[in-house]
């Protein structure tokens, strides 16, 4: 289904719903004679029936091309030119026949989407790499370009005679198309110097110009400086060199930039083909912001690398990043005549400042290293704290659904009514008043008497991964676990379709736990409000917060390499058979009802879980 069609059924603020999405596990998909029901609930289309009368076939073709030439001008002074061109073309046919719910009222619907993208990159570099005794220098001057183009064509046909679903047979057809592109040009330079592998200095500078900004703000200049000291080469540490075999202290500071995600955010845009009262016309689809400019990130980092007995390596980094001219999609009035098919009305704006700071620790150990067996382990853990320090200077907070961007709080903070359980006598949901008075911790069933407050944030207290790599003779095994602890997410899907007993549309109450639902006056153990059509819906409730704690077997690879003395007889230098899988196992909090890999905001609305994939392969080298 096209995304704009999906958005007709679901919107971020919960204003729109479609009954097709509601489905109760108590509904039977089959009739008594074994045939499929068309409808499996009071308001629900049977997904098995719908699958028999719908199809969606997508074909993708890709091409990747790269060429590079290098000329050694003189004494390690080299000039290189690299050109890469990537192209992809997709064709999607979507059919809703006359018996499907989506197609029955239109005499069948056939849709075709043909899109393509191409990206041309060029990279010209002049490099110099030279060692003079104990002095080494590496310098680079570069020029880069990026040219991206995208095309989109859509055609739809309705009211078909019989079952001949070809566009030429359609009684009514419609079409739309889109073409977009952007370009970026960059000039850059870098110099790295080290003395005796002990002292390191580096500096870089670049300036980038993007077509996504107006001519006055198109160019941004960014730079960095770094230094490092391998202190274990100093004489005063020679007595412990057998234990502390390597040690380096690092420091860096730099400024980089982020361009807007939209290609034409600084421009006023109009679109043709917008219908009003049955007639085709045009409308405003984007409000210009000519003052939009690069978002800037200034980061400093201090790091320490230690290696003990050539087997255990520890790397610790502490960083702080300050973001200025933060790009935010500022909501704008919906009454200004702007048309947007996905019901979002925003304008990218540089509104404020934000700080991130934290640490990252990586410990790698060589557990065994013999002729036949080797085993290494790497543990990574990281913590980041985020705080919004400034908005536009006129306001201190911006709310967006369950989120609030408030000065002094994490950027992705949840602003909700605090759920207090169920009223034993009425079965209605209870909420803490939280009005700042002495009665704040009193409860009420009237949501108008309660106030929202910050109830959590998405960023985790700690997250990272654990990787093990093992080799025994001709067998190799590698696996990686990822984990996260201490963060929150908001289950927008259940909030919208569970609510407090209203918007079930044929499905059963929240999380399908009937035993937790209020059963009658005097029920003091209920966790869920009564199931009754017409209840007050309060989807902005802390009831829908979830902990993001999880442990996942992210990747696993098992390989078998044939002995060289066997494969060399048939002209091969390497032959390896392997199996790999991703997202194979996941352990998570029982309250985390969605996939752990979620949007960066933590607001989860009908998200597609991470794919579980299995791959079998053969590697052959001649």
- Whether the per-residue pLDDT at 323 is higher than 90: the answer is yes
Average pLDDT, the chain: 86
Whether the predicted pLDDT of 42 surpasses 70? no
- 3-state percent breakdown (helix, strand, coil) of the chain, nearest 5: 10, 55, 35
Residue 18: the pLDDT is 37
Take residue 314 and report the two structure tokens written for it. 């520890």
Using pLDDT thresholds of 50, 70 and 90, give the confidence band for residue 181.
Answer: very high
Confidence of residue 104 (pLDDT cuts 50, 70, 90): confident
pLDDT value, residue 3: 35
Judge contact between 291 and 217, C-beta under 8 A. yes
Per-residue pLDDT at 586:
96
Lowest mean pLDDT among 60-64, 89-93, 287-291, 510-514: 510-514
Over 90: is that where the pLDDT of 359 sits? yes
Instruction: Check residue 496 and give its pLDDT.
Output: 67
Confidence category of residue 82, pLDDT binned at 50, 70, 90: very high
pLDDT tens figures, 441-475: 999 988 889 999 999 999 999 999 999 999 999 99
What's the rounded mean pLDDT across residues 238-256? 94
Q: What is the pLDDT at residue 512? A: 55
Are 326 and 305 contacting, i.e. CB atoms less than 8 angstroms apart? no
Which residue from 53, 52, 23 is spatially nearest to 40, judged by alpha carbons?
A: 23
* pLDDT attached to residue 441: 92
What does the alpha-carbon distance between residue 556 and residue 79 come to, in Å, rounded to a whole number?
A: 41
Cα(65)–Cα(602) distance, rounded to whole angstroms? 37
Give the mean pLDDT of 2-17: 33
Contact call for residues 358 and 316 (beta carbons, < 8 A): no
Q: What is the mean pLDDT of residues 601-618?
A: 90
Of 285, 260, 252, 255, which Cα lies nearest the Cα of 270? 285
Q: Is 168 exposed, middle or buried (0-12, 13-18, 19+ CB in 10 A)?
A: exposed
Q: Residue range 177-197: average pLDDT?
A: 95
User: Could you tell me if 609 and 595 are in contact, meaning their C-beta atoms sit under 8 angstroms apart?
Assistant: yes
**Burial of 354 (C-beta count, 10 Å sphere; 0-12/13-18/19+):** buried
* Residue 19 pLDDT grade (very low, low, confident, very high; cuts 50, 70, 90): very low
In whole angstroms, give the CA distance from residue 344 to residue 88.
28
pLDDT-based confidence at residue 8 (cuts at 50, 70, 90): very low
CA–CA distance, 472 with 234 (Å, rounded to integer): 39
pLDDT at position 504: 46
368-377, 423-432, 471-480: least confidently modelled range? 423-432
Q: 447-475 burial by CB neighbour count: b if 16+ within 10 A, else e?
A: beebebbebbbbbbeebbbbbeebbeeee
Rounded to whole angstroms, how far apart are CA atoms 622 and 576?
A: 12
The confidence score (pLDDT) of residue 516 equals 81
Burial of 522 (0-12, 13-18, 19+ CB in 10 A): exposed
294: which DSSP letter?
-
- SS3 assignment, position 495: helix
Lowest mean pLDDT among 180-184, 271-275, 485-489: 271-275
Give residue 214's pLDDT.
93
- HEC sequence for 158-191: ECCCCCCCCHHHCCEEEEEEEEEEEEEEEEEEEE
Separation CA 556–CA 583 (nearest Å): 9
**What residues contact 278, with CB distance under 8 A and at least 6 apart?**
none
Say yes or no to pLDDT of 502 above 90. Answer: no
**What whole-number distance in Å separates Cα of residue 429 and Cα of residue 289?**
44
């Amino acid at each position: 289904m096209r995304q704009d069609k999906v958005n007709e059924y679901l919107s971020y603020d919960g204003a729109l719903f479609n009954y097709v999405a509601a489905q109760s596990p108590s509904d039977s998909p089959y009739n008594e004679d074994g045939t499929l029901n068309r409808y499996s609930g009071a308001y629900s289309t049977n997904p098995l029936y719908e699958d028999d009368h719908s199809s969606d076939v997508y074909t993708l073709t890709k091409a990747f091309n790269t060429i590079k030439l290098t000329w050694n001008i003189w004494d390690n002074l080299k000039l290189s030119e690299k050109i890469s061109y990537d192209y992809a073309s997709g064709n999607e046919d979507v059919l809703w026949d006359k018996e499907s719910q989506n197609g029955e009222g239109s005499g069948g619907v056939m849709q075709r989407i043909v899109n393509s993208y191409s990206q041309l990159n060029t990279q010209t570099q002049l490099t110099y790499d030279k060692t003079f005794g104990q002095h080494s220098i590496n310098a680079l001057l570069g020029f880069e370009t990026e040219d991206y183009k995208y095309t989109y064509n859509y055609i739809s046909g309705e009211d078909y005679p019989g079952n001949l679903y070809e566009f030429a047979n359609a009684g009514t057809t419609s079409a739309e198309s889109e073409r977009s592109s952007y370009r970026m040009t960059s000039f850059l330079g870098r110099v790295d110097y080290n003395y005796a592998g002990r002292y390191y200095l580096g500096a870089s500078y670049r300036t980038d110009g993007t077509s996504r900004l107006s001519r006055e703000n198109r160019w941004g200049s960014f730079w960095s400086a770094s230094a490092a000291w391998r202190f274990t080469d100093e004489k005063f540490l020679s007595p412990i060199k057998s234990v502390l075999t390597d040690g380096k202290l690092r420091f860096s500071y730099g400024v980089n930039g982020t361009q807007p995600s939209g290609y034409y955010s600084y421009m006023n845009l109009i679109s043709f083909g917008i219908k009003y009262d049955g007639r085709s016309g045009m409308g405003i689809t984007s409000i210009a912001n000519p003052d939009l400019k690069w978002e800037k990130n200034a980061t400093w980092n201090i790091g320490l690398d230690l290696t003990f007995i050539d087997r255990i390596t520890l790397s610790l980094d502490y960083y702080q990043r300050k973001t200025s001219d933060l790009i935010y999609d500022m909501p704008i009035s919906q009454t200004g005549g702007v048309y947007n098919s996905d019901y979002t009305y925003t304008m990218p704006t540089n509104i404020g400042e934000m700080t991130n700071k934290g640490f990252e620790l990586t410990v790698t150990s060589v557990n065994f290293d013999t002729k036949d067996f080797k085993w290494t382990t790497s543990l990574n853990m990281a913590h980041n704290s985020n705080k919004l320090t400034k908005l536009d200077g006129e306001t201190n907070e911006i709310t967006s659904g369950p989120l609030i961007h408030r000065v002094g709080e994490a950027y992705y903070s949840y602003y909700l009514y605090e759920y207090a359980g169920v009223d034993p006598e009425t079965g209605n949901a209870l909420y803490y008043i939280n009005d700042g008075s002495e009665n704040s911790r009193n409860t009420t069933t009237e949501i108008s008497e309660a106030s929202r407050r910050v109830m959590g944030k998405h960023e985790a207290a700690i997250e990272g991964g654990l990787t093990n790599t093992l080799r025994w003779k001709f067998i190799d095994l590698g696996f990686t676990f990822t984990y996260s602890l201490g963060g929150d997410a908001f289950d927008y899907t259940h909030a919208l379709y569970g609510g407090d007993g209203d918007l079930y549309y044929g499905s059963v109450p929240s999380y399908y736990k009937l035993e937790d639902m209020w059963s009658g006056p005097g029920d003091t153990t209920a966790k869920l409000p009564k199931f009754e059509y017409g209840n007050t819906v309060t989807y902005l409730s802390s009831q829908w917060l979830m902990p993001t704690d999880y442990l996942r077997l992210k990747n696993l690879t098992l390989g078998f390499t044939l002995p060289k003395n066997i494969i060399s007889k048939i002209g091969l230098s390497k032959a390896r058979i392997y199996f790999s899988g991703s997202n194979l196992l996941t352990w998570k909090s029982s309250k985390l009802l969605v996939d752990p890999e979620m949007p960066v905001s933590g607001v989860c609305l009908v998200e597609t879980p991470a794919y579980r994939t299995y791959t079998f392969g053969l590697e052959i080298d001649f």
